[in-house]
Structure formats: C-alpha cells, structure tokens
Amino acid sequence: MEIQSKFLKVLEKLRFRSAPKPPYNHVVQLGDPVLRYKSKTVEKNQLDSPEFKKLLNNMRKVVKRYKCVGISAPQLGMDLRVMAMTCPDVNRYAGSPQEYQFKGMQPYSYSVWVNPVMKILDYKQETFPEGCESMRGFSADVSRYSKIQLAGWDENGREKTEELSGWLARIAQHELDHLNGRMYLDVAHLPTLVCSFWDRVNRTGGKVHISFFPNKLFSK
C-alpha cells in the first residue's frame, strides 16, 4: 500500500509539473483564494515589467476569447488593481436591439484601468441579472449605481477620468468588486440566483456538461 501511495504521488507531480502560472490565459473560478484578496496597488515602476506586460496581453486575449465585457487581474490569478472593460455596439450584441436599449448599453472600446477609483454620481440604483466568468453557468439580480465617475491610469501610467452610466457603470462596478475581493454573489439578491441553463438540464434529461474552456460553454 505504501509503494502504491508513493507511485500515485509521483504521477500527480508529473501531471501538474507543467501547470501554467499566473497571469493565466484562462479565468479562475470561485474557490480560488485570489478572488478573495484585496488587490495590491500597482506602482509606476511595475508598468514596464515583463510580468505586467504579460498580464495586459493575457487580459486582452481572455476578453476576446471568452467574449466577455470585463475582466480583472485577480481573475487571471494576479492580485493587482487592474481591470479592463468593453461593450459591443448593438449590431454585434448577442441579444435583441430592444434588450440593448433597455439595459442602457452603449459601445465602448476596450480600455484598461490601473488603480481605478470610483465616485458615485447618481445614487439611484438599477437592478439587472449579472453573470461572471469566474462563476460560470449562474446568474443573479444585482443592484448597481446608475452613474459613476471612474479615475485611474491607463496601461502606460497616464491619468484618465471618465463618467460612466447604465451598463458601462455596471461593468465597472462589477470589476471593481473583483479588485476588492468581492464576487457579485456577495451583493446579489440571493433568492434570484439561478443556474442559467436549468431548462436545458430538464430538456436533455440532465445530459449537460458545462465547460470552463473559452467560447465553449457546453462540452460533449
């Protein structure tokens, strides 16, 4: 039994000896401790480091591969105060034009925010379902401030400030939560939490496998 146990440990080490290291090219999932850390402030001398450049590159790739509207450094395994956000125009939105308008969405080019700080401009809150690539397959209603001001740096350390409203304000608040060790689950209306594909589970007799691979929600 002891020999078998040692053999299994060796196999386990061989299996994971080439495991990737952060910043990842995939999105970590709920349970990974990094999602509960309060992220560290980025110093100016870090901006030109190879590790930071790799983080920025991987964030852009992940947003494109996962087709998501926002990502944070913790979701790639790095506890740094960096996030990125984008929003498609109505012609590239997966839903209907009516839904796009109802949610207050608007086009927004991919933008990186370093050490972002939020100021609330309108305390009115709007409630919509939210999902998260770090909690794949679920959604819940979350109330967010309807208008905020975001201040921080771009990826080159230049200061910038923007006013964001509607869906863009929601994306920013969602990603800021990640930088503070919070998940949308922590601020959601919990009775509304659902598996986004519960009906598919019923229709297929439970023969559904949710994949964590980008752009492939269901695996065979």
User: Does residue 74 lie in a domain region?
Assistant: yes
Alpha-carbon distance of 68 to 34, in angstroms, equals 20
Task: Please determine, for residue 220, whether its predicted confidence score (pLDDT) is greater than 50.
Answer: no
Q: What's the pLDDT at 217?
A: 60
Alpha-carbon distance of 127 to 199, in angstroms, equals 23
CATH of the domain at 188: 3.90.45.10
Long-range CB pairs of 145-150, under 8 A, 24+ apart, other chains included: 145/120, 145/121, 145/169, 145/173, 146/104, 146/122, 147/120, 147/121, 147/122, 148/118, 148/119, 148/120, 148/121, 148/122, 148/172, 148/173, 149/118, 149/119, 149/121, 150/113, 150/116, 150/117, 150/118, 150/119
Task: Please determine, for residue 219, whether its predicted confidence score (pLDDT) is greater than 80.
Answer: no
Tens of pLDDT, residues 22-73: 999 999 999 999 999 999 999 999 999 999 999 999 999 999 999 999 999 9
Cβ atoms of 166 and 106 closer than 8 Å: yes
Count the residues in the chain.
220
User: Does residue 175 lie in a domain region?
Assistant: yes
Which stretch of DSSP H or E encloses residue 34?
none
175 flagged as catalytic: yes
User: Does residue 12 lie in a domain region?
Assistant: no
User: Does residue 15 lie in a domain region?
Assistant: no
User: Does residue 182 lie in a domain region?
Assistant: yes
Expressed as residue numbers, the domain containing 198 is 20-219
User: Does residue 186 lie in a domain region?
Assistant: yes
User: Does residue 29 lie in a domain region?
Assistant: yes
Number of folded domains that form the chain: 1
User: Does residue 105 lie in a domain region?
Assistant: yes
